[in-house]
């Protein structure tokens, strides 16, 4: 911990922070956190520059001229070969980030997503210019080739522990593809041999204690690196709890993919015809899920498709409970943070980082991940709540959000952590 006087001085030090992510649009939770962090830095008087890849959905950016090609935007006869090579080492990314550094002269680099896209090719360049590298760990790619600790059959898998990454291939962990699993395993071996995160990254920001513990168990060298656990934050939190909604519906919102546990959710609601479920989102399992609901005549389930902005906020705000039925080591789901921000309690699977933020009986309820019966019983339990108990749960979500997920708390911890790496006497500008 830095002395309070140092922290106060650092707050008045004008930094230029380089934020790095694969995407320059809201593709997922990592991008939401990245952009929110950028806005937070700018609100406090700091400069922010972005480095990402080119994508057709990218936001406009003054740094776009520095963005290297992505798999989507690359053209030419050797496109597939270049895409494969760039999965391991992105030569253009290394060149472009050096140009950006020379022009913008950032004080610190804060990475959110990069593996298999931007690649560690940028590490030596950042080190060349003595720019501290911080990394927010949104997933498990540092230690798991498949990101999710799930094998090709959808089961939790930790077989790679001890750097046995070839098991990603033997267990067909990557989308059921032998070829992709082989590529992912090979990239993991290559990265650990030449660009070890424990060597190049100066500090780690974990978004759950679970994530920190499992990363350090797989890669013990990470224990020696400065780190903090910093939950993702909400940009706004309601001040008053809500009464029990007159229109009671349960809500799932997120990606409709195998690891999110949506099929388990539907199987539970198949036996709960009086409980209504709204499903918001899209993904590879969309058609399969819709077919299941139709074949089982589940008139209590409504698929609403992809929603965003006010429309999504209203759905979350008006929901009785948000359900997070994940069947992988979920890290720090933004869905829970968004629910708490509007006072909506959560039913969350007891897996990964979810139990850290879903406090059973205070902000919602937990159930055993993948257990249809336990989920069904938990839904029935919540459906029987009285109005007083429901409002107490809503108040619990607001209290938890204010204590753990507020913008002010995030800022104080982030700026303190930044201050361990950026020296004020090295800077160019003061406010």
Residues pairing with 348 in the sheet: 324, 366
Verify that 222 and 350 share a domain, yes or no. no
pLDDT of res. 3: 54
Based on the number of CB atoms within 10 Å of its own CB, is 161 exposed (0-12), middle (13-18) or buried (19 or more)? middle
**Both tokens of residue 109?**
């680099």
Single pTM value for the model: 0.90
Verify that 330 and 358 share a domain, yes or no. yes
Verify that 126 and 255 share a domain, yes or no. no
The answer, yes or no, to whether residue 425 has pLDDT greater than 60, is: no
Tell whether 244 is covered by a domain: no
Verify that 156 and 259 share a domain, yes or no. no
Verify that 294 and 214 share a domain, yes or no. no
What domain range is 153 assigned to? 4-233+407-426
Reported as a single tens digit per residue, the pLDDT across 302-313 is: 999 999 899 999
Verify that 120 and 177 share a domain, yes or no. yes
Reported as a single tens digit per residue, the pLDDT across 347-363 is: 999 999 999 999 999 99
Q: For 96-132, give one letter per residue: b (16+ CB within 10 A) or e.
A: bbbebbeeeebbbbbbbbbbbbbbbbbbebbeeeebb
Tell whether 143 is covered by a domain: yes
Tell whether 40 is covered by a domain: yes
Q: How far apart are CA 17 and CA 354, in angstroms?
A: 30
pLDDT of res. 422: 87
Q: How far apart are CA 387 and CA 279, in angstroms?
A: 25
In which order are the strands placed within the sheet that holds 346-349?
301-305, 277-280, 250-253, 321-324, 346-349, 364-367
Verify that 306 and 352 share a domain, yes or no. yes
Tell whether 241 is covered by a domain: no
What total number of domains does the chain contain?
2
Verify that 339 and 317 share a domain, yes or no. yes
pLDDT of res. 204: 97
Verify that 268 and 222 share a domain, yes or no. no
pLDDT of res. 305: 96
pLDDT of res. 333: 92
The answer, yes or no, to whether residue 161 has pLDDT greater than 90, is: no
Verify that 93 and 210 share a domain, yes or no. yes
Would you call 204 helix, strand, or coil by DSSP?
strand
Query: In this structure, what CATH number is given to the domain that contains residue 393?
Result: 3.40.50.2000
What average pLDDT score do residues 66-80 get?
Answer: 87
Residues pairing with 135 in the sheet: 111, 204
Going by pLDDT thresholds of 50, 70 and 90, the confidence category of residue 167 is very high
Going by pLDDT thresholds of 50, 70 and 90, the confidence category of residue 429 is very low
pLDDT of res. 428: 43
What average pLDDT score do residues 383-393 get?
Answer: 97
Tell whether 282 is covered by a domain: yes
Q: How far apart are CA 340 and CA 405, in angstroms?
A: 9
Going by pLDDT thresholds of 50, 70 and 90, the confidence category of residue 52 is very high
Tell whether 214 is covered by a domain: yes
What average pLDDT score do residues 38-51 get?
Answer: 96
The answer, yes or no, to whether residue 430 has pLDDT greater than 90, is: no
Verify that 339 and 416 share a domain, yes or no. no
pLDDT of res. 399: 98
pLDDT of res. 24: 94
Residues sharing a CB contact under 8 Å with residue 20, sequence separation 6 or more, in sequence order: 50, 51, 52, 109, 110, 111, 112, 114, 118, 122
Tell whether 238 is covered by a domain: no
What average pLDDT score do residues 77-85 get?
Answer: 84
pLDDT of res. 424: 47
pLDDT of res. 82: 83
CA atoms within 13 A on the CB side of 419: 19
Reported as a single tens digit per residue, the pLDDT across 305-346 is: 999 899 999 999 999 999 999 999 999 999 999 999 999 999
The answer, yes or no, to whether residue 366 has pLDDT greater than 70, is: yes
Would you call 286 helix, strand, or coil by DSSP?
helix
Would you call 410 helix, strand, or coil by DSSP?
helix
The answer, yes or no, to whether residue 12 has pLDDT greater than 70, is: no
Tell whether 141 is covered by a domain: yes
What average pLDDT score do residues 11-18 get?
Answer: 81
Percent over 70 (pLDDT), the chain: 95
- Average pLDDT of the chain? 92
Reported as a single tens digit per residue, the pLDDT across 245-284 is: 999 999 999 999 889 999 999 999 999 999 999 999 999 9
Verify that 132 and 161 share a domain, yes or no. yes
């Amino acid at each position: 911990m830095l002395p309070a006087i140092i922290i106060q001085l650092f707050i008045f030090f004008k930094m230029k922070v380089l934020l790095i992510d694969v995407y320059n649009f809201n593709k997922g939770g990592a991008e939401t956190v990245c952009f929110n962090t950028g806005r937070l830095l700018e609100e406090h008087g700091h400069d922010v520059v972005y480095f990402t890849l080119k994508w057709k959905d990218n936001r406009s950016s003054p740094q776009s001229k520095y963005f290297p090609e992505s798999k989507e935007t690359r053209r030419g006869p050797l496109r597939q070969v270049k895409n494969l090579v760039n999965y391991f080492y992105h030569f253009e990314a290394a060149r472009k980030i050096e140009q950006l550094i020379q022009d913008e002269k950032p004080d610190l680099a804060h990475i959110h997503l990069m593996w298999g896209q931007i690649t560690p090719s940028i590490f030596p360049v950042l080190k060349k210019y003595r720019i501290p590298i911080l990394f927010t760990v949104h997933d498990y790619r540092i230690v798991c080739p498949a990101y999710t600790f799930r094998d090709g059959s959808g089961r939790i898998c930790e077989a790679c522990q001890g750097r046995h990454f070839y098991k990603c291939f033997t267990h067909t962990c990557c989308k059921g593809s032998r070829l992709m699993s082989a590529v992912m395993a090979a990239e993991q071996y290559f990265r650990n041999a030449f660009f070890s995160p424990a060597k190049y990254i100066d500090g780690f920001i974990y978004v759950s204690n679970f994530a920190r513990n499992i990363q350090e168990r797989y890669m013990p060298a990470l224990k020696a690196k400065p780190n903090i656990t910093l939950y993702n934050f909400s940009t706004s939190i309601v001040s008053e709890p809500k009464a029990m909604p007159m229109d009671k519906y349960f809500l799932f919102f997120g990606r409709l993919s195998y690891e999110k546990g949506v099929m388990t959710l539907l199987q539970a609601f198949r036996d709960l015809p009086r409980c209504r479920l709204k499903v918001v989102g899209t993904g590879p399992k969309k058609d399969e899920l819709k077919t299941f609901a139709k074949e089982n005549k589940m008139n209590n389930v409504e698929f609403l498709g992809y929603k965003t902005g006010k429309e999504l906020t209203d759905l979350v705000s008006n929901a009785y409970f948000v359900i997070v039925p994940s069947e992988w080591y979920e890290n720090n789901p933004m869905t829970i943070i968004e629910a708490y921000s509007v006072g909506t309690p959560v039913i969350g699977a007891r897996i990964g980082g979810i139990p850290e933020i879903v406090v059973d009986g205070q902000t919602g309820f937990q159930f055993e991940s993948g257990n249809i019966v336990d989920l069904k019983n938990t839904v029935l339990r919540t459906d029987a709540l009285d109005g007083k108990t429901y409002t107490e749960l809503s108040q619990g979500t607001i209290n938890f959000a204010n204590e753990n997920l507020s913008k002010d708390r995030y800022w104080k911890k982030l700026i303190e952590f930044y201050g361990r790496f950026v020296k004020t006497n090295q800077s160019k500008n003061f406010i």
